[in-house]
Structure 1
Amino acid sequence: MGGARDVGWVAAGLVLGAGACYCIYRLTRGRRRGGRGLRLRPSRSAGEAAGCPTSGRGRGTGAVPGPGGDRRRASSCEDLTNGSYDDVLNAEQLQKLLYLLESTEDPVIIERALVTVGNNAAFSVNQAIIRELGGIPIVGNKINSPDPNIKEKALNALNNLSVNVENQIKIKVQVLKLLLNLSENPAMTEGLLGAQVDSSFLSLYDGHVAKEILLRVLTLFQNINNCLKMEGHLAVQPTFTNGSLFFLLYGEECAQKIRALVHHHDAEVKEKAVTMIPTI
């Protein structure tokens, strides 16, 4: 079933870098040295600043009608994906590339752009630049693509980006947003619970994990419970295989983690955990 495969792709994205729990712990304990740096985002204005055309019926496809200059600029953006750049892309080139990835609907260009982002994300300096340019949600959104090649390239890019400690939380938050959307749909509940998920998923319920992640994983569990209740499945345990999300969420280890969150230092996390105690 397509829905189950989609859940599997999203679940795969969720556990990227999940083994680096200690790194996340260090990050959430506070690494606030220095300023925030660039907070550029490849919006329409960013695309214009980077030299990419932003108007016309062919927006993002490279076939932009209008003056020859627009066509040349569109072509230069796509040139970044054709393998002609052997060196590491600089910030301006990455900005162009991310704008192209965000704006185009051409699957061939999207796949090539994701490959280029992934290759450049293998370099530590670009892992930070791509994050500062808002590239993580742009790449993460491509997991929703119906094209399995695009999904795969997006996961590869996220995998390289996840080497950077500060990127790990942003990647998990982005993928959790996708899972939360799925969890609100009762038609997706069975596919979601049947998805094979690495056991490291449960580390997201640890008390030292960032608040924004804790609130989302608790809400994920809550949404699934609500959908099961609506469908009348809480009294009847469906058949799921070992290693599925069902076995992780409804196992004793997860229950212990949620009970521990009742004593969390953050009031919102504590309140969310308290409301879930009767369901575990």
Structure 2
Amino acid sequence: MGAVDEGRWALRLAVGLLAGGVGLYALYKLTLDRHQEEQVGRACGGRQSGKQKLVHTVSGLKLAAANRGIADAQPGCVLTKSPDSLEQQHLQVVLGLLQGTSESSTREQTLVTLGNSAAFTTNQDLIRKLGGLNIVANCLSDEVTSVKVKAMNVLNNLSMSVANQEELKIWIPQILEIVQATTLNSELQVAGLRVLTNISVTNNYHHMVTNSIPHFLKLLVEGTESIKVQVLKILVNLSANPGVAHDLLCVQAPLSFLLLFDSCEHKDILLRLLIFVANLKESLNLLQGSVEYEMESIHSVLFGNPTPFSHKLATLMLYQDNEVKHQVARIIIK
């Protein structure tokens, strides 16, 4: 009888220990699951309550939509979103991040995101209304060149909006200063010229860049092909405005200016050069009064009588391209 009681007591003890072990494991598993939930919650912008987790498990829809708005507004999520899917709350987050950090790589990443989103007209307006133009333009004062380049790229897209140009005009002097002071043919110089090209599409701000015409001509003869093309886009825009024709005609021509009209020059450059000259010729006919020009001026080099430029035009009449011939005809006939 005693042996039987001892056996029953041992069995009860074993069952009790087993139950206790299961309980401890369940408690450990519960604690571990809760810890993992917290980790996931932090990564996605918030922690779900037990009730929320149950609803999410059952429906899989309603809670997911609610949480997506929270998670999508986190900087890490916003910066990886497709540019065409960025909404106002996302742009606010990106602009806040750009304004609130001095870390170069983060600033560059936010500027890339803004630049991509600013390719869409709706976002160009949204960024302006959110005060983003000044936030982006302030990056032009950053000490890191790559940040300046990316800020210029954003401004390039933003400046396609006429409404944005009105606010960006206060930054034209700084952009001109950067273009002149930076290394010749640098990425920053090209980016700055692109912004000025957009801003010079209308006549509204031509008076703000006329003092930089001599430097534009310097870049035209010294720069790479990409620099030449960007400078000529600006000069063509300026030359279409009779109001600044006098400024263009009076400026001193670089010594190697006429060499650009050689038939071996790249067509894109040659064609824009001829459009520039043809526009000036038309504006010259509109100018009233007698004006004396220096011998080294653009006017004297192009329209003096006789000039080496006349011989260049005669040669270009044989150029194997109808667009080039048409612009040569414009110059000769006018």
1:203 partnered with 2:259: yes
1:245 partnered with 2:298: yes
Residue deviations 1:61-111 (CA, integer Å, cap 9, x gap) = xxx4xxxxx56x66652441343x435328755533544566351544444
1:54 partnered with 2:124: yes
1:96 partnered with 2:154: yes
CA distance change for structure 1 residues 260 and 140 in 2, over 3 Å: closer, same or farther? same
Partner amino acid for 1:171? Answer: Q
**Post-superposition shift, 1:264?**
1.7
**Post-superposition shift, 1:55?**
3.4
CA distance change for structure 1 residues 89 and 226 in 2, over 3 Å: closer, same or farther? closer
**Post-superposition shift, 1:218?**
3.1
Which residue is 1:122 aligned to?
A: 183
CA distance change for structure 1 residues 54 and 198 in 2, over 3 Å: closer, same or farther? same
Which residue is 2:225 aligned to?
A: 166
TM-score, structure 1 normalization: 0.52
**Post-superposition shift, 1:202?**
1.9
**Post-superposition shift, 1:176?**
3.1
Name the SS for the 1:239 alignment partner.
coil
Which residue is 2:18 aligned to?
A: none
Which residue is 1:259 aligned to?
A: 314
Cα distance in 2 between the residues matched to 1:166 and 1:115: 21
Name the SS for the 1:55 alignment partner.
helix
Which residue is 1:81 aligned to?
A: 140
Name the SS for the 2:293 alignment partner.
coil
Partner amino acid for 1:175? Answer: I
Cα distance in 2 between the residues matched to 1:154 and 1:275: 23
Between the two proteins, the alignment pairs up a number of residues equal to: 212
Partner amino acid for 1:80? Answer: C
CA distance change for structure 1 residues 254 and 89 in 2, over 3 Å: closer, same or farther? same
Cα distance in 2 between the residues matched to 1:87 and 1:231: 43
Among 186, 190, 194, the residue aligned to 1:137: 194
TM-score, structure 2 normalization: 0.45
Higher alpha-carbon Rg: 2
CA distance change for structure 1 residues 154 and 113 in 2, over 3 Å: closer, same or farther? farther
**Contact 1:162 1:171 (8 Å CA) reproduced:** no
CA distance change for structure 1 residues 97 and 239 in 2, over 3 Å: closer, same or farther? closer
- Aligned-pair Cα RMSD in Å: 4.8
**Contact 2:213 2:248 (8 Å CA) reproduced:** no
Cα distance in 1 between the residues matched to 2:288 and 2:148: 54
CA distance change for structure 1 residues 94 and 78 in 2, over 3 Å: closer, same or farther? closer
CA distance change for structure 1 residues 107 and 209 in 2, over 3 Å: closer, same or farther? same
Partner amino acid for 1:139? Answer: L
Identity %: 19
**Contact 1:142 1:154 (8 Å CA) reproduced:** no
**Post-superposition shift, 1:174?**
0.9
Cα distance in 2 between the residues matched to 1:114 and 1:53: 26
1:218 partnered with 2:274: yes
Cα distance in 2 between the residues matched to 1:276 and 1:266: 16
Partner amino acid for 1:248? Answer: V
Cα distance in 2 between the residues matched to 1:200 and 1:272: 21
Cα distance in 2 between the residues matched to 1:152 and 1:227: 19
**Post-superposition shift, 1:231?**
7.0
CA distance change for structure 1 residues 76 and 190 in 2, over 3 Å: closer, same or farther? closer
CA distance change for structure 1 residues 154 and 115 in 2, over 3 Å: closer, same or farther? farther
Q: Using CA pairs under 8 Å that are at least 6 residues apart, name the structure with larger relative contact order, 1 or 2.
A: 1
**Post-superposition shift, 1:229?**
5.4
